[in-house]
Structure 1
């Protein structure tokens, strides 16, 4: 397809699992408008479920210069058609999707692993969310780019450090499946509650199972989450140190907190150490118990917290914005 200047526009088909899934939203949907402005002819579809709709899709693949699959692991038969009929096949993922989540009884699925490694080998380009995933994937494919999960920083509500909250608000935002990670901090919150006026504020799809603390649950909405995050005094992201799945996560919570100018207090696991510079744009914690000291420090030192929060916000604008992600993706597409 040609634009008004007569230049050829690469036609890209993005296949996502759902428009409601966070990874589809932050790794594809919010990038589409900026990709159009870069000169791409983009189309976004839900990955089909029925055989009829799959074959309809397969028949259309040759019309696209690039087929971009976001996180969905195709079946072996689907992958055969994608690799045969796509001019260029791109696979994007932002965590260790071949592993089942730690809350499930069976943590590892052999079929999922085989499908995962199959598409890693067949793809013409891998788009991964962090350096941990890049390192793991390089065993199977050398053509890889790192595109962090990003957000639209323009118009993002900012924490107002001139206004002091009645309680010290420690916040967490995330999906229901990750609530067990927040619950790791139960003892820390109970200990903190004895020495400071603590409020644990949770933005999710369910209330967490944490007793003995002043906890406020806020049902998650796309429209309301940014304003609520900007009310936090600190944003936490606890992760188990011994989890391969956790090490592969992209630290999107950290980016959300930082974008709002909120001090991130994170487990020193996986990509968190790439996102945050300890004591400069947030805090990295070795052990769950040590969250107590850092959260107490943020409470005791509001001026330092404000400086860290503002540096964090500026860092996200420079490195984790939609524009930054689109520039990396554009370079990867151009070199295909």
Structure 2
């Protein structure tokens, strides 16, 4: 699904680069109940060198049949599906346990696991002997870096799905403090498939519906990007996707020092890490008041993403791993 970030950035963007290495594939798209897609997958499995599953956990019976038909199975994932989120309900805890069991079963069946970061790779290596790390990559084409100048209001932006809006709750005291200090000089722009609201901040919070076609445009409307996270097993497994996405656009980012955020953001060099609310307020205030600082950190952030998360580099690594697991020689 192109509207799913992990599918776009971990599969579809890499396909042309894999084809240049002689790796071609048939993409099967279907929802959770797409019976025809499931049957077609079983029909194709024995005819190809391998089956690539992009974060798709399969029922036990289907996985067993597929394992018997396919030469090898590759499983790619970029979330800690095995971990419950903070403040999880009883139903959510049961779901995490069920997904963890499915994930364990998946890793017993696959020939190659592809993990989005080292935290996920460590989990995977306890269950599979063949694991490679391939971070979420970004295409630079068509994404112009932000040119920072004095702006009114200064836009502090966040982008994400409905399921991750809860992370913004931790920044409410920060938003309240900044609103009191800067008044109409700032706005908090939330880009999501669901609105975010908090009593008393109605004049500062601006909700914009997410659109794949407008994503780059919406990101470029930010002056500062934020990526708050709770420090739990679920968040530690995240791949810093939002931070990488905003940094690619030349935005200075303030992020929680959790999981892959600490690998992507070098505090004070290409962004800021904020461990508590006072640091969040301090760093955001600095960026609100200094377009020059925003420009410097934004440029440094984009340069680091271009050098570390280039699609062609990681497609080469993934291609090599696919050749190895399929028992083919690269030509």
TM over 0.5: yes
Of 135, 144, 155 in structure 2, the residue corresponding to residue 169 of structure 1 is 155
State TM-score, norm by structure 2: 0.90
Instruction: Give the drift of 1:82.
Output: 2.2
Q: Does 1:226 align with 2:216?
A: yes
Structure 1, residues 143-192: CA drift from partner, whole Å, max 9, x if none? 1111111221112032112x322112110001111111112211101101
Give me the whole-angstrom Cα distance separating, in 1, the residues matched to 2:206 and 2:197.
Answer: 12
Q: Determine if the alignment matches structure 1 residue 118 to structure 2 residue 101.
A: no
User: CA contact under 8 A between 2:120 and 2:237: conserved in structure 1?
Assistant: yes
Q: Write the distance in 2 (CA, Å) between the matches of 1:170 and 1:181.
A: 15
Greater shift in the superposed pair: 279-288 or 243-252: 279-288
SS in 2 for 1:116: helix
From the two aligned structures, give the one with the greater helix fraction: 2
- After TM superposition, the score normalised by the length of structure 1 is 0.89
Q: Does 1:308 align with 2:293?
A: no
Q: Tell me what 1:9 maps to.
A: none
What displacement does 1:100 show?
A: 4.9
In 2, Cα distance between equivalents of 1:171 and 1:52: 41
- 2:135 matches 1:148: yes
Counterparts in 2 of 1:251-330, with a 5 A limit?
251-330=240-319
1:43 maps to what in 2? 26
Question: In the TM superposition, what whole-angstrom CA distance separates every residue of 1:183-206 from its partner, at most 9, and x where no partner exists?
Answer: 221110110112222210111112
User: Structure 2 CA distance, aligned partners of 1:56 and 1:297?
Assistant: 55
Write out per-residue CA displacement over residues 39-71 of structure 1, whole angstroms, 9 at most, x where no aligned residue. 212211125735565344213201111211011
Q: Are the aligned partners of 1:183 and 1:208 in contact in 2 as well (CA < 8 Å)?
A: no
Q: Which has the higher strand share?
A: 1
The Cα offsets for residues 9-32 of structure 1, whole Å up to 9 and x where unpaired, read as xxxxxxxxx332221121111211
Hey, what does 1:34 align to over in structure 2? 17
1:203 aligns with 2:188: no
State the superposition RMSD in angstroms: 1.8
Kindly report which structure 2 residues correspond to 1:180-199, keeping only aligned pairs within 5 A, or say none: 180-196=166-182, 197-199=185-187
What residue in structure 1 maps to residue 2 of structure 2?
Answer: 19
**Paired residue for 2:229, among 220, 225, 239?**
239
**Residue of structure 2 equivalent to 1:4:** none
Report how many aligned residue pairs link the two structures: 317
Greater relative contact order (CA < 8 Å, ≥ 6 in sequence): 2
Distance (Å, rounded) in 2 between the aligned partners of 1:204 and 1:324: 30
